[in-house]
Structure 1
Amino acid sequence: MGGSALLVRDLSVGYGPVRALRHVSLEVPEQAVVTVLGANGAGKSTLLRAISRTLSFHGGAVTGGTIGLGGRPLDRLPPDRVVAAGVCQVPEGRRVFARMTVADNLRAGALGAPGGREARARALRRVHDLFPVLAERAQQRAGLLSGGEQQMLAVGRALMAAPKVLLLDEPSLGLAPLVADRIAATVREINEQGTSVLLVEQNAALALRLASHAYVLEVGEVTLSGPADELAASDEVRRRYLGVVDEDAAADASQARTTHPTLTRWEA
């Protein structure tokens, strides 16, 4: 799948005495979309925070392992230098600057990014091409945008830093299905333009359609990994993350209910 863009090896993370990640390893190749699946509390957001070096803001710390981008260690860099190195995160919940205008939110995303005025202008054109509504509402306060538009702004703000790797944390969360599909199409377009994507997403069906490779996190450990289409066909993944129930098991359960009906009340 091409050369290695982002490499995480044997990563462990703790929040005080609580171990959140245990020896997690994954790879995001150049110009690929890789997804991380898992239930709430599995450690998905913690993984992204460790990569972006924002764990300390949440009371966490890396206790072991390495993180590198294109062979360059990111482990000891402050968050702004991680962005300058080419890794930018879009956190869960959109997190736009609600009182600032759309234009100012985008300008904030370019702070500390490599390149000068021309590079910022090029990044802004890219964002407006991807999300024309952000150009139309440039002078509107971000807090007045719809949920879907705020998510577009959050992604656009990250793209202003011209990242090599984009970290997306639950981009479809709380969005209507049509809006989530629009965000997914944009993620695919961003990737086709040359940006690698590490996607954390509870909508497993959507994530597996977008990704070429997938990892499953359970209680802070990688328990499954492989090509996304293979995981999508896995009975375990289909049952646990795609809501697909084995037909034979469903038939057995139905027969059991018929043979042994459930009591509706206690009798003396």
Structure 2
Amino acid sequence: MGGAALAVRDLVAGYGPVSALRDVSIDVPDGAVVTVLGGNGAGKSTLLRAISRTLSFHGGAMTGGSVTLDGRPLDGRGADRVVAAGVSQVPEGRQVFARMTVEDNLRAGALGARGPRTAKAAALRRVHELFPVLAERARQQAGLLSGGEQQMLAVGRALMASPRLLLLDEPSLGLAPLMAARIGDTIREINGQGTSVLLVEQNAALALRLATHAYVLEVGEVTLSGPAAELAASDEVRRRYLGVVDETAADDASRATAAHPVLSRWEDSR
């Protein structure tokens, strides 16, 4: 199974009178992991919804630009046809079918996929190899899984369609650091098996470790882009998304503290 090349050009999208994306252009080369960083309200989820053609389900619409996969247009297709074309999305918040079993959740993920039963059986084996716990909990209701296990199920459900391009919306959200790292390892493994990945993630440190190329969205516009390693070394990205304070500023703060020590009564009240 090979990956797919995605090209988004001058994308404009919004919700009624509210503009969410303005002239956004990004590329996901065949077989690559590309990440989109940005704060809340930057338009990251809107971008993924526009690509997967699910934006209308959220009251939004794409009003300009184009989205192509291997040179073939995705805009204008229904969401089911986008899945059939090889694009699957893992939505923010997991969105598993809580009352359905793990097994039935995975079966639901294969509904839009093309191919014979043997292909679906192979996809299920792949999911169970990536997430053995899903095989162990096959008959359990999805709503009874832990948060990390539900995220595994959400990713596994998307993989049941054997996508060539996987869209991931905040996969580490709400997870403990150890589980977030485990999800990161799985993304790397999925990509290593040939699937292209477009990753939207607020955990910038994790995202930049996984990706080869990165974009920064701010208020619906791309403000920075480049190789992930270069963005990780950027002072602006380090300050705004990695929580790293400029060394000069840190030295200044240390000198200020030495010159003006904190009063003991404030220290006692901490």
What does 1:95-244 correspond to in 2, within 5 Å?
95-244=95-244
Cα separation, 2, equivalents of 1:171 and 1:51: 17
Q: Percent identity?
A: 81
Q: What SS does the corresponding residue of 2:76 show, helix, strand or coil?
A: coil
Q: 2:209 is matched by which residue type in structure 1?
A: R
TM-score by length of 2: 0.94
Q: 1:21 to 1:262 in 2, by over 3 A?
A: farther
The answer as to whether partners of 1:97 and 1:105 remain within 8 angstroms in 2 is yes
Shift in Å, 1:252: 1.8
CA distance in 2 between counterparts of 1:116 and 1:130 reads 22
Q: Say if 1:126 and 1:244 are closer, same or farther in 2 by CA, change over 3 A.
A: same
Give deviations 1:100-151, integer Å, cap 9, x for gaps: 0000000000002010111100100000000000011101100011100000
Q: Distance in 2 between matches of 1:181 and 1:247?
A: 27
SS of residue in 1 equivalent to 2:64 = strand
Match of 1:36 in 2: 36
After TM superposition, give the deviation of residue 63 of structure 1 in Å. Answer: 1.1
- Is the Cα–Cα contact under 8 Å of residues 3 and 196 in structure 2 kept in the other structure? no
With normalisation by structure 1, the TM-score equals 0.95
> SS in structure 1 opposite 2:5?
strand
Q: How does 1:33-72 map to 2 (within 5 A)?
A: 33-72=33-72
Find the residue that maps to 1:115 and give its secondary structure: coil
- Counterpart code for 1:170: E
Q: Which amino acid aligns with 1:16?
A: G
Q: Flag the 1:182–1:3 CA change in 2: closer, same or farther, 3 A.
A: closer
Q: Which moved more, 1:252-261 or 1:34-43?
A: 252-261
Distance 1:84 1:193 in 2: 19
CA contact (8 A) 1:5 1:28 kept: yes
Unaligned runs of 5+ in 1: none
In the TM superposition, residue 261 of structure 1 has moved relative to its aligned partner by 7.4
